[in-house]
Structure 1
Amino acid sequence: MATIKKQIRRHVATVLGIEFEDVPEEINLIEIGLHSLALLRLIEPLSKLAGARIDYADLARRPTVRDWDVLVAGRSKTV
């Protein structure tokens, strides 16, 4: 099974219509085209990964794969 970080990168790539390899782990995703509608489209799949609801504000606050990995992993431990 792919790591959470890889799954997040795949979801971001799909939403942005780019290759998996073009999704950096540490760079602010807004710099590669992430926008508010894309964030909305990521709430459901990332919430499923976490096993708990993730809010728009959680994603917008720190829009990097690394930060989202920590967020998703943290939420999954509380379920």
Structure 2
Amino acid sequence: MALTLEQIRNDVADCLGEDPADIPVDENLVDHGLDSVRIMALLERWRRAHDVEADFADLAEQPAIQAWASRLGVA
């Protein structure tokens, strides 16, 4: 199953213990409490479940859901 923008948002919300509706897609996720350990955990989850080919630097450079979706080839 392909990774979707909604799945990214849901996974980030789960990681932060928040409601997905409270996680903006265009804001810096670090400002919402996402740290490097959680970014790595998300990346590993997506690698296993969705065969994502990205590394930590790809996500850490622009920690926003829309930026990640673009980088990960999500439509």
TM-score, with structure 1 as normaliser: 0.80
After superposition, where does 1:1-79 map in structure 2 within 5 Å? 4-47=4-47, 48-49=49-50, 51-73=51-73
Identity %: 33
- The alignment partner of 1:52 has SS state of coil
Say how many residue pairs are matched.
73
Q: Which has the higher helix share?
A: 1
Q: Give me the CA root mean square deviation.
A: 2.1
CA distance in structure 2 between the aligned counterparts of 1:65 and 1:52, rounded to whole angstroms:
15
Question: Structure 1: any 5+ residue segments left out of the alignment?
Answer: 75-79
How far the C-alpha of 1:36 sits from its partner, in A, is 1.1
Tell me if the contact between 1:27 and 1:64 (Cα under 8 Å) persists in the aligned partners: yes
Q: Whose relative contact order is higher, 1 or 2, with alpha carbons under 8 Å and at least 6 apart? A: 2
How far the C-alpha of 1:72 sits from its partner, in A, is 1.4
Tell me if the contact between 1:59 and 1:68 (Cα under 8 Å) persists in the aligned partners: yes
TM-score, with structure 2 as normaliser: 0.84
CA distance in structure 2 between the aligned counterparts of 1:52 and 1:8, rounded to whole angstroms:
12
The letter of the residue matching 2:23 is V
Tell me if the contact between 1:13 and 1:23 (Cα under 8 Å) persists in the aligned partners: yes
The letter of the residue matching 1:40 is M
